[in-house]
Amino acid sequence: MFFWKFTRSGKYSSKYISLIIDFHASQIDNNYLKTNFEECKDILILIHDVEHLNGENNYSAGLQKQPFQQQVNKLGFRVSNLYFQQRTINNLVLGQMILGTHSGTPLDYGQSNKRGECFLLDISKLQISMMIDARTGMIYGEEDKLKAYRNSPLFINSGFYFDLMPKHECIVEIVNKMLNYDFNKTIDFLKNILKWEKI
């Protein structure tokens, strides 16, 4: 299970939207993240959605641009121009809130709580770098970084949350683990939902 949010916290652009995914520390074991196939699908949808959004307002970003395509190419695919945003269709959105260091219109936040057989993702390849105290939600400054989730009955108000801002490189680790778990279902998802095309 994880929470997620879109924020405007870009160092170089007030228009750039970041995706933040928060996992409770209880899901981390010996440098591996415990998740499942369905939640990995949701993570990939959110990564695609935020890149799609950024492509609308930032010249250097977008699903068709080289930084994103390069990672998909490593897996033997390319991203087509047919992808459309999936987070609402897949019931991942809980609401909207203005989040981050820059002002603007409210952005989506939500959660994924899909059941399935557990498998492990290598944290070092996901680049999780920050822990947030669940009670205060603070890392630096005075903003509660977890405030969007506190009303959820699934929120754990103790321990820590691991804060992941997934970079494009995360795609390779996630898709490879999905392929090893269920090759046919993964290929179907990549082609029919993410609209990837085989090179």
Q: Report the pLDDT value the prediction gives residue 14, as an integer from 0 to 100.
A: 65
pLDDT digits (tens, 9 = 90+) for 161-185: 998 888 888 999 999 999 999 999 9
Domain range spanning residue 156?
2-198
Is residue 12 pLDDT above 60, yes or no?
no
Tell me the average pLDDT across 69-85.
95
pLDDT exceeds cutoff 60 at 11: no
pLDDT of residue 10: 58
pLDDT, mean of residues 40-55: 94
> In the predicted model, what is the mean pLDDT of residues 72-96?
95
CA angle 96–193–9, rounded 5-degree value: 35
How far apart, in whole angstroms, are the C-alpha atoms of residue 104 and residue 56?
Answer: 15
When pLDDT is cut at 50, 70 and 90, the band that residue 158 belongs to is: very high
Q: What is the pLDDT of residue 192?
A: 97
> Into how many domains does the chain fold?
1
Region 93-101: mean pLDDT is 86
Q: Counting every residue, how long is the chain?
A: 199
Q: What is the pLDDT of residues 120-147, one digit of tens each?
A: 998 888 876 688 999 999 887 778 999 9
Cα separation of the two ends of the chain: 33
| Residues 122, 128, 131, 137, Cα dihedral to 10° | -120
Report residue 19's pLDDT band, with 50, 70 and 90 as the boundaries: very high
pLDDT at 191: 97
Q: At CA 13, angle to CA 71 and CA 89, rounded to 5?
A: 55
Q: Name which residue leads in pLDDT, 62 or 127.
A: 62
Overall average pLDDT of the 56-65 stretch = 81
What is the enclosing helix (H) or strand (E) of 175?
A: helix 170-181
Query: Once rounded to an integer, what is the mean pLDDT over residues 69-89?
Result: 95
Q: 76: which 2 tokens?
A: 């033997």
Question: Average model confidence (pLDDT) for the chain?
Answer: 90
- Taking 3-state DSSP, the helix, strand and coil percentages for the chain, each rounded to the nearest 5, stand at 30, 25, 45
For position 102, what pLDDT does the model report? 62
